[in-house]
Structure 1
Amino acid sequence: MTRSIAFIGLGHMGGPMAANLVTAGHRVRAYDLVAAALDTAAEAGVEPAGSAAEAVADAEVVITMLPAGRHVLDLYDDILGAARPGTLFVDCSTIDVTDARTAHERAAAAGMRSLDAPVSGGVVGAEAATLTFMVGGGEAEFAEAEVLLAALGKRSVHCGGAGAGQAAKICNNMILGVSMIAVSEAFVLAESLGLSHQALYDVASAASGQCWALTVNCPVPGPVPGSPANRDYRPGFATSLMAKDLGLAANAARAGGVQAELGLRAAELYAAYAQGAGAAEDFSGVVRTIRNQSGAQA
């Protein structure tokens, strides 16, 4: 069934997602502060709008993909009054759980329905429509959105009520950040012991060390041809985004009194990496920092 969709935020993730909705047969009106992003989206069949409020005016569903919670809340303040009552708002940004719950509250107060639906899969997943959505909100809203999300990804999981999608996202990425550091340290240790990358990969990928950070996003070149390590660590999943997500997880852990030693340390390591050499690299490039700090040859 064709739906009228407003899409706000046409960056590296949002642009391909909006294009995939057009490919699936939906009418998509979109807005972004960056004119070039609107132009690129228009080439894919997206209808550019002059403002965010204009984009949502006749939409049945509003999808947002923005950098941080403050952007989502500011946008909601701007567009909730312009949308039709009962419009379904689906925020796919990765933001603080508290901000997500506030967004739900503001949408409800304006007579709207809402979901938080952050994604996993990165730019590659956005382009290939293979994202995974972690969704928080009502069951009826999830059932309605699931059809649209199927045009954007391979799986949608209803995680619970308001904010539950964001909670699942930051917990998942804490696992990913910690495991990437562990895999990277293991490869650097193997180098110091004279063990080849391929030998360690062949053992760990078929043993108890198997994980996504190893078998899909392997941090050293060679064993996994499609990993960013074979493209000089071009993202992929940018280090800045991992640092952001781990920062959200760390804040939540501290607020909840959770003893998350590895998660907190991973947040520190990625924050430092994002400020330095990793600023424009895939998060798996942290292996080079570990190698350099270990005194080994790069």
Structure 2
Amino acid sequence: MTGVIAFIGLGHMGGPMAANLAAAGHRVLGFDLVPHARAAASAAGVEIADSAATAAAGADVVITMLPAGRHVLALYRDEGLLAAARPGTLFIDCSTIDVADARTAHELAVAAGHRALDAPVSGGVVGAEAATLTFMAGGGEAEFARAEPLLAATGKKAVHCGGAGAGQAAKICNNMILGISMIAVSEAFVLGESLGLSHQALYDVASTASGQCWALTTNCPVPGPVPASPANREYRPGFAAPLMAKDLGLAANALRAGGIDAGLGLRAADMYAAFAEASGAAQDFSGIVHVLRDAAARAPKGTTP
């Protein structure tokens, strides 16, 4: 697909994504409120516009990567992004936001004479930099087909999940699995420690047995078994705890709105919210193992029957 791409939101995720699009030969007009983000994107081949509306006015496709639904809706509705774009522009929102907000954004774009796709991502900053993200897309089949070449330049896989909001639905369901899995893996290592089992021994068994999962084999929460995991880098984030807390909060909102009794998902949301607000604010989400270890150390020891 040829044409000009506007990329709004050039932060830790959006910056590398925009750079990969430019490296693939696309003309990318970028904008971000943060001067450092604009400078980094410019150095990577992105043309910097003086506003989001200016970028959109000259584009065939507008991609947004923003912190929350309120930012997307404000940009669409209150800050003139939709009004600035030419009729028929394809709007792709890659932010992770509430499903209801994604559907509202879709409706606003269509009402303004445009096309829309929600396409949140999985893979974190590492995936954004390496162009190995997975996209979960919601919207029409024609919109997805048009977006696919762009998604391919910034990721390794794109899945059309259904209509408007379906991409966001898939994202929060996936990350609910991930959050719960990381807690389970961390609890297992803490239990293993209490029983005198080495990290490596537990890993060698579980990684090739029925306990195998991504949280164990790729993002192992203890140092040693997986050299590339954040645990071996003092828990510097690959996927930061506050981002996991945000995603689990969105999942919890959807669970409550749907009247779904999902005790593990709600408990995981509460645990990550507390962790992100305290010691985990600047840590990878696998650092939750410290919370579990500390809680185990404080708990009264039981007696053997």
TM range (shorter): over 0.9
Which residue matches 1:19?
A: 19
Counterpart contact for 1:10–1:37, Cα < 8 Å: yes
Which residue matches 2:302?
A: none
Counterpart contact for 1:69–1:100, Cα < 8 Å: yes
1:243-287 per-residue CA deviation (whole Å, 9 max, x = no partner) reads 000000001000001111000000000000001000000000000
Supply the distance in 2 between the matched residues of 1:238 and 1:217 (Cα, whole angstroms): 12
| 3-state SS of paired residue (1:135) | strand
Aligned-partner residue type, residue 229 of structure 2: S
Supply the distance in 2 between the matched residues of 1:95 and 1:84 (Cα, whole angstroms): 25
2:207 to 201, 205, 208: 205
Structure 1 moving runs of 4+ over 6 Å: none
Provide the identity percentage. 78
Which residue matches 2:76?
A: 76
Q: TM-score, normalised by structure 1?
A: 0.99
Supply the distance in 2 between the matched residues of 1:196 and 1:150 (Cα, whole angstroms): 41
Which residue matches 1:282?
A: 284
Supply the distance in 2 between the matched residues of 1:50 and 1:8 (Cα, whole angstroms): 11
Supply the distance in 1 between the matched residues of 2:282 and 2:184 (Cα, whole angstroms): 22
Q: Does 1:6 align with 2:6?
A: yes
Alignment of 1:40-119 (within 5 A): 40-77=40-77, 78-119=80-121
Supply the distance in 2 between the matched residues of 1:86 and 1:245 (Cα, whole angstroms): 31
1:9-51 per-residue CA deviation (whole Å, 9 max, x = no partner) reads 0000000000000000000001000011101100011000000
Aligned-partner residue type, residue 58 of structure 2: D
Counterpart contact for 1:90–1:116, Cα < 8 Å: yes
Which residue matches 1:163?
A: 165
Which residue matches 1:257?
A: 259
1:149-175 per-residue CA deviation (whole Å, 9 max, x = no partner) reads 000000000000000000000000000
Supply the distance in 2 between the matched residues of 1:217 and 1:260 (Cα, whole angstroms): 24
| 3-state SS of paired residue (1:15) | helix
Supply the distance in 1 between the matched residues of 2:292 and 2:238 (Cα, whole angstroms): 19
| 3-state SS of paired residue (2:137) | strand
Aligned-partner residue type, residue 54 of structure 2: E
Aligned residues: CA RMSD: 0.7
The answer for unaligned runs of 5 or more in structure 2 is 299-305
| 3-state SS of paired residue (1:95) | coil
The answer for unaligned runs of 5 or more in structure 1 is none
Counterpart contact for 1:2–1:25, Cα < 8 Å: no
Which residue matches 1:272?
A: 274
Which residue matches 1:136?
A: 138
1:169-226 per-residue CA deviation (whole Å, 9 max, x = no partner) reads 0000000000000000000000000000000000000000000000000000000000
Aligned-partner residue type, residue 50 of structure 1: D
Which residue matches 1:244?
A: 246
Structure 1 residue 293: Cα displacement: 1.1
1:69-113 per-residue CA deviation (whole Å, 9 max, x = no partner) reads 000000112210000000000000000000000000000000000
Aligned-partner residue type, residue 220 of structure 1: V
Structure 1 residue 2: Cα displacement: 3.4
Counterpart contact for 1:184–1:290, Cα < 8 Å: yes
Which residue matches 1:222?
A: 224
Structure 1 residue 129: Cα displacement: 0.2
Instruction: Give the number of equivalent residue pairs.
Output: 296
| 3-state SS of paired residue (1:89) | strand
| 3-state SS of paired residue (2:83) | coil
Which residue matches 1:190?
A: 192
1:112-165 per-residue CA deviation (whole Å, 9 max, x = no partner) reads 000000000000000000000000000000001011000000000000000000
Aligned-partner residue type, residue 256 of structure 1: G
Supply the distance in 2 between the matched residues of 1:160 and 1:111 (Cα, whole angstroms): 21
Structure 1 residue 3: Cα displacement: 2.5
